[in-house]
């Protein structure tokens, strides 16, 4: 049995094509069933996100299956096949395994290390399992892909550092304050950027939110969203000492917060540190504020710089992740190979021969006064028992080669007789971790 993948991603197709070939996430039953009706396809799975579509199948005839899947993808979406053929990639065997492992580990993602893709593949697998289009091979394959992705996330720092401006702000705040749950934040200027960053701060535990804006009504509206308090713009400086984090994004042409004012504020705070984030262009806060002890001022460029540095860190980690993927491919490929009938029969016979030999040695050790003739008869009897026992299983295995039940029998025999273990640890599919964000 082979694994094949036909698909397209943000790397091979522009969004106009991707959106044409996407599958609606709410109606996966029909395409999955149709896919399984293609003659060479034994098991099927469809992953469809805004950045990629992947058709994954287990098949006996990889070439035919790949051609059928390419045609299916075009016909299902009523697109001429030649129009999209240059955007499609097809993988089989080891390459297909590598591809899915890399995709689920987020090594193929637009933002390296983003965690959503794993959840999307889990959902896709959920449908395939629900409509029973995934069988032994894809079950094992997908579980393996999940465990590879998990290994990559825990053993490398690929997903560790923030790669968006608002998350970078939260991360920096953690390096200053350690805990955010007893901290307060003030939003100056109710812009969209500030709102997004404020939301991140609130989900990360910030409890006190003050909002100020030139039009008081907007401040009130935003404050209500965060259970915060609105403050008239004229008085915001007086309230600065109450908060630890300040975010500004007003359209003011000049600085609205200068060094002198901040000096006063810090004094009133007894020098407890303050983190100031100035997202406005032109800037709202005098850059000299950064020279004050215990004040940390970041403007948009600074935050972008942090994001760039973090991306670089992720790229360094990607190398490690690729190594992990390579290790796991070998293991899984071995398991897949073990599902072949012939090596299984050979392994089974060898195993029983080993048992026969051990038992004979034991018996002869106890019965020392046997004649050579008697020994030979006992050996022959043991051999005959093995042959009789093996006759039916061997016949069934050989017969099953011709239909789709083959792998199930092979897997069963390998488990029952404890033949060299197939790779991959079956684990329950877990829902997406709560820690996944961004």
Which residues are the active-site residues? 50
Q: Are 6 and 24 in contact (CB under 8 A)?
A: no
Q: Is 319 in the site for another protein (CB under 8 A)?
A: no
- Give the range of 220-228, 303-311, 329-337, 410-418 binding another protein by CB under 8 A: 303-311
CB of 268 to another protein, least distance (A): 10
Taking the least distance from each CB to another protein, the nearer of 48 and 161 is: 161
Of 266 and 352, which CB lies nearer to another protein in the complex structure? Answer: 266
Pick one of 302, 328, 407, 411: the residue that binds another protein (CB under 8 A): 302
Q: Pseudo-torsion of CA 329, 333, 335, 336, nearest 10°?
A: 140
Site for another protein in 141-160 (CB under 8 A): 157, 160
CB of 244 to another protein, least distance (A): 10
Footprint on residues 227-286 left by another protein (CB under 8 A): 270-273
Binding of another protein by 306 (CB under 8 A): yes
Q: How many other β-carbons are positioned within 10 Å of the β-carbon of residue 436?
A: 13
**Strand ranges in 64-107 using DSSP code E only, listed in sequence order:** 89-92
In our burial notation (b when 16+ CB lie closer than 10 A, e otherwise), range 297-325 reads bbbbebbeebbeebbebbeebbeebbebb
- Candidates 21-29, 52-60, 302-310, 339-347 — which segment interacts with another protein by CB under 8 A? 302-310
298 interacts with another protein by CB under 8 A: yes
Interacting span for another protein (CB under 8 A) from 81-89, 94-102, 232-240, 289-297:
289-297
Tokens for 37, please give them.
């009706």
Residue 296 contacts another protein per CB under 8 A:
yes
| Other CB atoms within 10 A of residue 332 CB | 23
Among 12, 123, 164, 290, binds another protein (CB under 8 A): 290
CB of 269 to another protein, least distance (A): 8
Distance of CA 197 to the CA centre of its chain: 25
| Residue placing its CB nearer to another protein in the complex, 41 or 172 | 172
Residue 17 engages another protein in binding (rule: CB under 8 A): no
Contact call for residue 172 and another protein (CB under 8 A): yes
Least CB distance from residue 238 to another protein, whole Å?
A: 19
Please tell me whether residue 362 binds another protein under the rule CB under 8 A.
no
Sheet-wide strand order for 2-9: 41-48, 52-59, 2-9, 89-92
Cβ(131)–Cβ(32) below 8 Å: yes
Q: Which stretch binds another protein (CB under 8 A): 28-36, 82-90, 169-177, 404-412?
A: 169-177
Half-sphere exposure of 226 (CA within 13 A, CB side): 32
Closest CB 236 distance from another protein, rounded Å: 23
Residue 158 backbone phi and psi in degrees, to 5: -65, -30
Question: Closest CB to another protein among 13 and 262?
Answer: 262
User: Which 3 state secondary structure label does DSSP give 296?
Assistant: strand
For residue 368, the minimal CB distance to another protein (Å) is 55
Sole window of 168-176, 248-256, 328-336, 379-387 interacting with another protein (rule: CB under 8 A): 168-176
CA 223-229-234 angle, to 5 degrees, is 100
Binding mask 175-204 for another protein (x = CB under 8 A): xxxxx-------------------------
What does the block give as tokens for 246?
A: 């300040």
Conformational region of residue 172, where left means phi above 0, alpha means psi within -120 to 50, and beta covers everything else: alpha
In angstroms, what CA-CA distances link 132 with 70, 111, 407? Answer: 22, 32, 16
**Region near another protein per CB under 8 A, out of 68-76, 194-202, 298-306, 342-350:** 298-306
Name the residue nearer to another protein (CB basis): 201 or 296: 296
Stated as kind and residue range, the H or E segment containing 283 is: none
Task: Sort strands 184-188 and 89-92 into parallel, antiparallel or unpaired.
Answer: unpaired
* Measured distance CA(35)–CA(107) in Å, rounded: 27
**Which 3 state secondary structure label does DSSP give 183?**
coil
Nearer to another protein, 271 or 387 (CB): 271
Indicate the residue among 219 and 240 with the shorter CB distance to another protein.
240
Q: Which residues lie near another protein (CB under 8 A)?
A: 157, 160-161, 172, 174-179, 270-273, 290, 293-294, 296, 298, 302, 305-306, 309
């Amino acid at each position: 049995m082979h694994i094949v993948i036909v698909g397209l991603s943000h790397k091979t197709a522009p969004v106009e094509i991707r959106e044409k070939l996407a599958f609606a996430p709410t109606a996966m039953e029909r395409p999955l069933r149709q896919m399984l009706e293609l003659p060479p396809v034994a098991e099927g799975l469809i992953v469809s996100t805004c950045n990629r579509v992947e058709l994954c199948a287990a098949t006996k005839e990889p070439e035919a299956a790949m051609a059928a899947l390419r045609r299916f993808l075009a016909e299902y979406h009523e697109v001429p096949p030649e129009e999209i053929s240059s955007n499609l990639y097809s993988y089989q065997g080891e390459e297909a395994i590598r591809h899915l492992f890399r995709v689920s580990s987020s090594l193929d993602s637009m933002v390296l290390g983003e965690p959503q893709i794993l959840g999307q593949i889990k959902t896709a697998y959920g449908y395939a399992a629900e409509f029973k289009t995934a069988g032994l091979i894809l079950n094992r394959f997908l579980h393996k892909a999940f465990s590879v992705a998990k290994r990559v996330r825990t053993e490398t720092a690929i997903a560790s550092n923030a790669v968006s401006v608002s998350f970078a702000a939260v991360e920096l705040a953690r390096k200053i304050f350690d805990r955010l749950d007893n901290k307060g934040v003030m939003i100056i200027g109710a812009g969209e950027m500030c709102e997004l960053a404020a939301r991140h701060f609130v989900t990360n535990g910030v409890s006190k939110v003050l909002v100020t804006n030139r039009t008081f009504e907007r401040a009130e509206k935003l404050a209500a969203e965060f259970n915060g308090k609105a403050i008239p713009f004229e008085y915001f400086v007086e309230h600065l000492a109450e908060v630890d984090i300040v975010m500004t994004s007003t359209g003011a042409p000049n600085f609205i917060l200068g060094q002198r004012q901040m000096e006063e504020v810090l004094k009133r705070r007894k020098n407890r540190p303050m983190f100031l984030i100035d997202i406005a262009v032109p800037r709202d806060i005098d850059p000299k504020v950064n020279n004050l002890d215990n004040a940390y001022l970041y403007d948009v460029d600074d935050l972008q710089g942090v994001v760039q540095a973090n991306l670089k860190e992720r790229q360094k980690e990607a190398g490690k992740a690729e190594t992990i993927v390579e290790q796991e491919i070998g293991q899984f490929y071995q398991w897949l190979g073990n599902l072949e009938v012939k090596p299984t029969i050979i392994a089974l016979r060898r195993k029983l021969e080993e048992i026969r030999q051990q038992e004979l040695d034991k018996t002869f050790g106890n019965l020392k006064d046997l004649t050579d003739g008697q020994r030979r008869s006992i050996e022959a009897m043991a051999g005959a028992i093995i042959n009789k026992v093996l006759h039916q299983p061997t016949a069934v295995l050989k017969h099953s080669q011709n239909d789709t039940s083959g792998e199930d029998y092979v897997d069963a025999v390998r488990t029952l007789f404890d033949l060299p273990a197939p790779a991959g640890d079956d684990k329950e599919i877990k829902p997406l971790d709560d820690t996944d964000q961004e």
